[in-house]
Amino acid sequence: MSVVAATVGVIIIDTISIPSKVLMIRLLGLIAILSIYEIVCVFIDKQFI
């Protein structure tokens, strides 16, 4: 859910601000890191609970 919220927030921010390729790449990288982190956390929770 948090990744979806972050993605929507990024889309809104990007739409409001002037489009920039560097900014887009950074934001996409941040979303990728967040989603990987969330998947790892869910995996660990399932393993230990």
- Secondary structure class of 17 (helix, strand, coil): coil
The Cα 39–Cα 48 span in angstroms is 14
Count how many residues are written for the chain: 49
pTM: 0.44
Per-domain boundaries in the chain: 2-48
| Per-residue pLDDT tens listing for the chain (49 residues) | 578 888 887 777 766 666 667 777 888 899 999 999 988 888 888 887 6
